[in-house]
């Protein structure tokens, strides 16, 4: 993304183009910095641990639905999180509580989910208040099976 206030959009565009290019990604892979979403770049993997990681990723990665493809205005929703008070719970606190006190992790995760969903709803309300055409239903994909790649069968 580039700011609309950028003074040198052409130069920023060239940097973004380079950072997302096969050439740059291949150099990162060759340098052992990780795997790439570009199959051609992954041909350069030398490290056997990265090769194993790539094999696991290829076997286990599921293509999920992307709400932004349905409604680009959803990109604005996360900007409203900073306008809300801090959360009371975090995934780390739930796990630590369960680990250190033998607490009920399922109960903690359920409470965290309720809190996160409420917060997300508030972010959507704020975005709508500012005129963004977003709704919670933009994130619903009833035909998505998390065990198989999303086929995008919705109209």
The predicted structure's pLDDT at residue 42: 93
pLDDT digits (tens, 9 = 90+) for 53-66: 999 988 888 888 99
pLDDT of 9 reads: 85
**What does residue 75 show for φ and ψ, rounded to 5 degrees?**
-60, -25
DSSP secondary structure of 57-83: HHHH--PPP-HHHH-GGGGGGGGGGGG
Note the pLDDT of residue 127: 97
Domain range list for the chain: 9-60, 67-139
Over residues 5-30, the pLDDT tens digits come to 878 888 988 998 999 999 999 999 98
pTM of the model: 0.61
């Amino acid at each position: 993304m580039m700011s609309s206030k950028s003074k040198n959009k052409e130069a920023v565009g060239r940097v973004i183009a380079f950072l997302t290019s096969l050439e740059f990604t291949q150099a990162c892979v060759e340098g052992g910095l990780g795997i790439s979403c570009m199959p051609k770049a992954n041909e350069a993997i030398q490290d056997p641990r990265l090769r194993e990681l790539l094999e696991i990723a290829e076997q286990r990665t599921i293509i999920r639905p992307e709400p932004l493809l349905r409604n680009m205005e959803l990109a604005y929703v996360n900007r409203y999180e900073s306008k809300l008070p801090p959360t009371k719970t975090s995934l780390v606190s739930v796990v630590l509580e369960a680990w250190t006190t033998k607490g009920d992790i399922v109960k903690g995760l359920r409470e965290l989910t309720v809190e996160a969903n409420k917060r997300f709803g508030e972010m959507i309300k704020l975005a709508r208040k500012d005129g963004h055409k977003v709704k919670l239903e933009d994130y619903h994909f009833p035909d998505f099976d998390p065990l198989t790649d999303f086929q995008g069968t919705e109209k």
